[in-house]
A = this chain, B = another copy of it.
Amino acid sequence: MGKLTGMGLTAQLHETPGHPIIVAKNKHIAGRRTVLLYGHYDVQPVEPVNEWRSPPFEPTIRDGRIYCRGATDNKGQLIAHVSGLAETLAEHGDLPVNLTILFEGEEEIGSPNLKPFLEAHREELACDVVAISDTGMVGEGIGTFTYGLRGIACMEVKVHGPTIDLHSGIFGGAIANPVTMAARLVATLHDDEGRVQIPCFYDDVNDLQDWERTSWAALGDGDAETLSLTGSPALFGEPGYTERERRWARPTAEVNGIGGGYQGEGSKTVIAREAFFKLSFRLVPSQDPERILDLAEAYLKAKAPAAVRLEIKRGHTGMAYLTDPHSELGQAAQRALLSTFGGDVALIREGGSIPIVQAFKDVLNADTLLLGLALPDCQAHAPNENFPIANLEAGIRLNKALLRELAA
């Protein structure tokens, strides 16, 4: 807040039932294009803490990168834009466009309070276009325009069996083990090759367009890059698609966590009374998240034996997003990327989800320009999250170029 007002913007903190929302503006002048710059200041949980090389909330610079939780997702990218605005304001006394800053603190839990806020402040937030840097670059120094995102739908399943933990010698063989049953339910989600087996799951999935497959294939060897980034022994996924296509344009069912029974060293011969697993589905355009959760819930309930009881809790959801990269605004964004990074601009979709992008479309009728500054190895959501200082500096340049291009 202090930084924003110090730059010459008016800024306001809005309380919500969750974390507050910040809105800041320059003086809006009729006839100029209005740009809404969005970012989020909340972060993912930091565990496992012991895998961090430096404390997650003490920013540490090593080898030209800033390491801390939020360094890339999203504080680092957000600060690049703010710094770009500060430079333009210092140099010119104003920005070339009407600017509205919108920063929130609940993106990582699906922005539950932002959509109602947009609806309540529709006029105040009215804009021609939204700009966000919360996505990735395909590689170091390659300007990247993201024209699509996957949606998300989360669910937690608890499998209840006996009312107490049991001795697995005394009772083993006669009752259903909730841990085993949870694992068996997880195993029903995919076939051996990785296709999701929930009936009707793929019903609303649109095929990739030819130009997309061609353009993505031209980005180079995605397999090698993903193997190197992840350290996985081998790639694995839905047959018939490249690894980029699987990540950017195909839906998934992933188990983000599973637990039950003895977690310590060695063995404890127990049958746990309950087990859980946490699911998130990544969705592609046209898939309705609530319908996917309906399908999943019905499927899991049908698969569970009568000897256990399921407790299903739905989590946050968000629609996938897709815009036309060849629109006037899309081309302006690509010119800004070109002037910042040189070379060719990569046109991609991404596997992650920013549900609020769909809300900007629905409530403000504005398209969103996704101009990511994260590199594939920035470890968003993982230990040792980091952000290269070069990208922070590029982000400052990008912000300045973007406002110039959008003003034109």
Contacts and interface: CB of A to CB of B under 8 A. Distances in A.
A66 interface: no
B170 A136 contact: yes
Number of copies: 2
B263 A164 contact: no
Contacts of A130: none
In this complex, which of A109, A187, A254, A308 has the most chain B Cβ atoms within 10 angstroms of its Cβ?
A254
Given A164-B382, A309-B233, A261 B258 contact: yes
Contacts of A163: 230-232
A162 interface: yes
B278 A262 contact: yes
A49 interface: no
Given A152-B169, A231-B164, A382-B167, A254 B175 contact: no
B353 A235 contact: no
B257 A263 contact: yes
B267 A173 contact: no
A219 interface: no
B162 A236 contact: no
Given A175-B235, A184-B186, A351 B270 contact: no
Interface string A379-397: 1111110000000000000
A256 B226 contact: no
A182 interface: yes
In this complex, which of A168, A169, A236, A261 has the most chain B Cβ atoms within 10 angstroms of its Cβ?
A169
A402 B187 CA distance: 52
A287 interface: no
A180 B189 contact: yes
A55 interface: no
A381 B351 contact: no
Report whether over half of chain A's contact residues are helix, strand or loop; otherwise say mixed. loop
A235 B179 contact: no
Interface stretch (A244-252, A290-298, A337-345, A361-369): A244-252
Interface of A: 44-45, 47-48, 51, 109, 136, 150, 152, 154, 156, 160-177, 179-180, 182-184, 186-190, 192, 194, 226, 229-238, 243-244, 246-247, 250-252, 254-264, 266-273, 275, 277-278, 280, 282, 305-309, 315-316, 350-353, 376, 379-384
26 contacts: A136-B170, A152-B169, A160-B233, A161-B230, A170-B376, A171-B247, A173-B250, A173-B282, A174-B246, A176-B194, A176-B232, A177-B255, A179-B256, A183-B187, A184-B186, A187-B187, A187-B188, A233-B307, A234-B306, A236-B307, A254-B271, A257-B260, A257-B262, A257-B270, A266-B315, A267-B316
Given A182-B258, A183-B258, 7 more contacts: A162-B232, A167-B380, A167-B382, A171-B226, A184-B186, A187-B187, A256-B262
Q: Shortest 5 CB-CB distances between A and B: which pairs?
A: A163-B231, A169-B352, A187-B187, A257-B261, A183-B186
